[in-house]
Chains A and B, each alone.
Chain A
Amino acid sequence: MKQTFSIKIGGSAGQGVKTSGYILTKALKDLGYWTFSYSEYPSLIRGGHSTFQINVADKQIGSITQRFDILVALNDETIEKHHEDLNRKGLLICDDNRVIKPRVKKSLDNKGIQILVIPVDEIVKENNGQPVMENSVITGAVWSMLTKEFKVLENQLKQIFGKKSKDIETNIKCAKDGFKVVADQYFVELKQLKGSTDRIIGTGNEVAGLATYASGCRLYCAYPMTPSTGILQYLASRTDKTKMIVKQAEDEITAIQMAIGASFAGTRSACGTSGGGLALMTESLSLIGINETPLVVFNSQRPAPATGLPTWTEQGDLEFVSRAGHGEFPKIVLAPGDINEVFELVPQAFNLADKYQTLVIILLDKYLSESWYQAKRFKDGKIKVSRGQILSEPDLANQLEFKRYKITVSGVSPRSLPGSKGGVYLANSDEHDEKGYSTEDLYARKQMMDKRMRKYGGIISELPEPKLYGPEKAKTTIICWGSQKGPIIDALEKLNNGKSRINALHYSFVYPIEIETIKRYAKRNKLIAVENNYSGQFAKLIRCETGIDIKTRITKYVGTPFFKDELVEILKTKI
């Protein structure tokens, strides 16, 4: 029985492509299967063309494939655009209004593709439903080709439509009639498996929001910008429970300035944006550099320059963020590879920001921010808040004279919070002395620069090694970072096929970089950089920091992530 397959649903924006896909994803999880779901949509509200793809497997996955087994067409464009990527012996499901051109029909027949036409209008009419319920019929029909367990789908329909629609019963009837169109004929026959009850489904943005809350962040500020808006909306929609203040500011400059002000006042705060918004925030990154206020900034990348491709994906901002801000000051850039790493790294980011009183940028991208990952449920109580060196009033009372920017060996100076007696100081954007007062004494300037930059010593000493995936003995090593972890790991198994050909080093701490591991690998292995950008920005950073030049660079910058099958084909020629 085939248990690794994929479904692509296509339609116009507003036709419910995403809702159908999401319901099927959740139902497949409930049935016991692992899924990875990814959507593509244009930057508009109605019309256009959007798709939702679900890859299904019997183990955890983090990627989609370029080619798929089932195509669900809610409009003609879907058939026209995607039929060529349907695998042999695949399945096309559509409603009876669709026009399949003779040329397309011939091609489908040649590949042995089954076409299933569903009388959608008729079913909706019979049930006195609304036109929008067409996608419930289709969802039922798709489900019927996968399993006989209608109950599982019904539960999800109830959960999802129960919140939105009063007409939940009609929706279920429509789905059931769609389900009945094809009886006992399966494309794959999925049985109910056990073990998925301790799993969750979430997007990178949702998990980033969850982890931000769990880490004790009490103020989140942002200006809406795709694909980072999901964090803002997730947090905003849960303030009744979290009691957080979630502030949609008038622009990105305000968002970050408010977050910095709040952090100076002593709470934990964060802000989030995409590349264009981060460009506006850049002057404020430099402000943190000199006034040493802890701050976490999320940047969910999308293809640029400028407005670029707003709803597509790219790892194009690494070079920008690692250099962002005028002047020199310590900063940390993290790039989680999946939702588990998002949940793990966000609390670390807050702790590092507090410990080193510095800027921590978390790089996400549309792929990680907006894809639906399935993972083991995160354990509660694992997050520890560590606030670094904050002096209480009794601590301050014991000091002869409090100097906020005291020159220290570690470069970190204990801070006071406004409201604390004895801790008065000036957080100054001018170069300053130990008390925070402006100075143009050039010796004091040197001392203060040296103090701030010494923080890198501590930061570098606690950088984790990159994680190795695949067989240790392999002679070829992929160097990768951030969100492309999923496609790369998924490709490894197929490439090795039981042998030890290729492995991958994945970095989630991308600036500064831990350099010893790659030095070891460079001595004995062939290195290949795989990056979702034009020039191989991480490879360039590595060359800058280590002198190691990774000459083989596989890059992609067309707005889509690496597809597993595509990556396998490319890498085959390199090992």
Chain B
Amino acid sequence: MAQLEDFNTTVTPTWCPGCGNYGIWNSLKQALSEMELEPYNTVLTYDIGCSGNMADKVNTYGFKSLHGRTVAAAMGIKIANPELTVIAIGGDGGVMEEGVNHLMWAARSNYNITVLMHNNQTFGLTTGQPTVTTEEGNPGKTAPLGIVENNIVPAQLALISNASFVAKTFAGNPKQMVKVMKSAVEHKGFSFVEFLQPCITFNKLNTFQWFQERVFDLAERKNYDASDWKRAFETASDVEKKIATGIIYQDKKSIPYSQRLVQRKGEKKTLVEEVKEYSIIQMIREFE
């Protein structure tokens, strides 16, 4: 059985000292080992940016795609081999901007994959431009006077796209991150996890302290029912004073994409195992 150390590589991280990515990285490895996954049956896909720089720092099969395409590649991998655990990692730029359509479609199609979105509300690797999650009025290098567009709330978008699992967790809370990631990966269907992640270098507003003062854990609210979509949407929408974290929504009866395909009912093999020559004797008759 794989231990946390088995998910380490020889590559040293290059994130800024104090970056939220260290916590996410360690919690991810912790979650993978606690779920008794092995490096060889796990695939992580990555985007471009600081989150994508995790690519050579986790010892599993990895696929570092182009900017915005982490979710799109993950969908194809899972379809080809449903026996693999497939987790797509990306930032707010990749998942909410360049590849926002992929997120919406992955959610509505209910592929059995997990999207881990690092939301630091800035383009970190390109040194501090605003993103779609930067709150209106905040400055950024390409909007020094403050951005004038409204921001998007990722969990709302995931919910209206029919995601069957939506969660939020705080990069300063490793215990919660591990728990939420495990629930997400074990969920049968599409799961979306947003990490509230301070960018200590370029986002001077949404700091660790700023989040600490606002986050609370839904798991501590005994009467919270995560299967109630309307309530989940309200909870996800309320980001002004208090920010709910934990599992916001989960449809435990959701049926993943691959199980919905009529022609695949009862098929035991994966598409990978099915590659061989196929006879055309039956099919060619239609051409006569």
Contacts and interface: CB of A to CB of B under 8 A. Distances in A.
Interface of A: 197, 200-202, 206, 210, 213-219, 221, 238-245, 247, 249-251, 253-254, 257-269, 283-284, 287, 291, 377-378, 380-381, 383-385, 387, 417-430, 436-438
Nearest to A374: B287
B25 interface: no
A283 B48 CA distance: 14
Given A267-B272, A378-B280, A249 B63 contact: no
Contacts of B104: 250
Contact of B69 (A216, A257, A383): A257
Contacts of B267: 243
A329 B79 CA distance: 27
Contact of A267 (B61, B81, B287): B81
A212 to B, nearest CB: 10
A247 B106 CA distance: 13
B173 interface: no
Interface in B74-131: 74-77, 79-81, 83-84, 101-102, 104-105
B261 interface: yes
B75 A380 contact: no
Interface residues of B, number: 56
Contact of B276 (A240, A385, A424, A429): A385
Contacts, number: 206
B39 interface: yes
Nearest to B10: A437
B105 A216 contact: no
A257 B72 contact: yes
A216 B287 contact: no
Given A428-B56, A437-B11, A422 B102 contact: no
Contacts of B61: 418-419, 423-426
A245 B55 contact: no
6 contacts: A210-B284, A213-B278, A269-B76, A423-B61, A424-B61, A428-B62
A421 B42 CA distance: 11
Nearest to B282: A241
Contacts of A430: 55, 64
Contact of A243 (B39, B83, B84, B264): B264
B62 A426 contact: yes
A425 B9 CA distance: 11
B77 A261 contact: yes
Given A202-B287, A265-B76, A266-B80, A287 B66 contact: yes
Given A214-B278, A251-B101, A421 B66 contact: no
B275 interface: yes
B220 interface: no
A216 B72 contact: no
B278 A261 contact: no
A210 B38 CA distance: 38
Nearest to A350: B275
Nearest to B101: A250
A438 B45 contact: no
Contact of A250 (B41, B73, B102): B102
A241 B64 CA distance: 35
B277 interface: yes
Interface string B45-70: 10010000001100111111110010
